[in-house]
Structure 1
Amino acid sequence: MKRQVVLAAALIPSFSTLANEPSNFSVGMAVDQQLSVVIEVEDKYRGIIGNDGMAFDYIAKRGSFEQGMPVTWYVGVGGWYEWDDEFGLRVPLGLNWDLSKGWDLYAQIHPELELYKGPDLQIGGAVGIKYNF
């Protein structure tokens, strides 16, 4: 109980700082861990929770192809956990398309290193749509 109170007290200043600053916050749906809810903060931190499990990605680098083109690319690092106890690391490589004001469509492939019963390389993918607040 004491640890939970200390943790909550430590997080309160962080949340109040975020509330005072303008932030980039997105919510959407994706096919990642089967049908999933996606939350993205500051265009860097993406959390996914779905029917099959959950994942977290840190978007390390973003770039564009040409000026004025609505399609950009990104590279990240992350991890995933499936409800059947499988887990591992992944590297999302994706494209983001600005559909209209506030709406983004993204698609990615992510090479994965499964670690549950020993190292196993595999590849996954995701497609999603988000709305930016």
Structure 2
Amino acid sequence: MKKNLLLGLPFIVLSPWIHANESPQLAVGMAFDQQLSVVVEVDDTYRVTAGNDGMAFDYILKRGVIDPETSMSWYVGVGAWNEWNDVFGARVPLGMNVNFYDGWNLYAQVHPELNLYKGPELQLSGALGITYKF
């Protein structure tokens, strides 16, 4: 039950927003997050990652510019993750973006995680990905 709820959460959250916005910006790519993963990002705000080990949903709260000349920026968000073996929890992605070519974005992040499966346990993980914005 928990697994199905967590898997459906991104679609429940995004559904009203996607229908209200006529043309959301969509970025699709690959990452090493939940092992090898597919990444879908909507309007630089919502990121859904599904991979070999599980899936994650992140909401990017704040972005800022590090260096305008190199298109380098930072971000912080909140999210949830679920592994296919029913392990789940919350996370706080802290990352950097580099827009290195027209429409192409490289990102790296660390995310402190709170594993909630058999009681609260803090852990640290990370992700590296590339997306193309349509």
TM-score by length of 1: 0.85
The equivalences for 1:82-121 within 5 A come to: 82-121=83-122
* Number of residue pairs the alignment of both structures matches: 120
Amino acid at match of 1:89: A
Contact 2:115–2:122 under 8 Å retained in 1: yes
CA RMSD of aligned residues (A): 1.4
- The answer to whether the Cα contact below 8 Å between 2:70 and 2:98 also exists between their aligned partners in 1 is no
The answer to whether the 8 A contact 2:80-2:91 is kept is yes
Higher-Rg structure is: 1
* Deviations 1:39-88, CA, capped at 9 Å, x for gaps: 00010000000000000000000000233231100000000000111000
Q: Which runs of 5+ in 1 are unaligned?
A: 1-10
Map of 1:128 onto structure 2: 129
TM normalised by structure 2 equals 0.84
* Alpha-carbon distance between aligned partners in 1 of 2:124 and 2:17, rounded to the nearest angstrom: 35
Aligned match of 1:26? 27
**Cα distance change on mapping 1:113 and 1:15 into 2, 3 Å:** closer
Shift in CA distance, 113/104, structure 1 to aligned 2, threshold 3 Å: same
Are the structure 2 counterparts of residues 24 and 120 from structure 1 closer, same or farther at C-alpha, using a change threshold of 3 Å?
same
Partner SS, residue 67 of structure 2: coil
2:31/2:129 contact within 8 Å kept: yes
Describe the SS at the equivalent of 2:118. Answer: coil
Cα distance in 1 for residues equivalent to 2:119 and 2:19:
42
Structure 2: runs of 5+ lacking an equivalent: 1-14
Match of 2:78 in 1: 77
Contact 2:55 2:83 in 1 (8 A): yes
Letter in 1 for 2:66: F
Aligned to 1:63: 64
**Whole-Å Cα distance in 1 between the matches of residues 43 and 50 of structure 2?**
18
Structure 1 residue 15: Cα displacement: 5.0
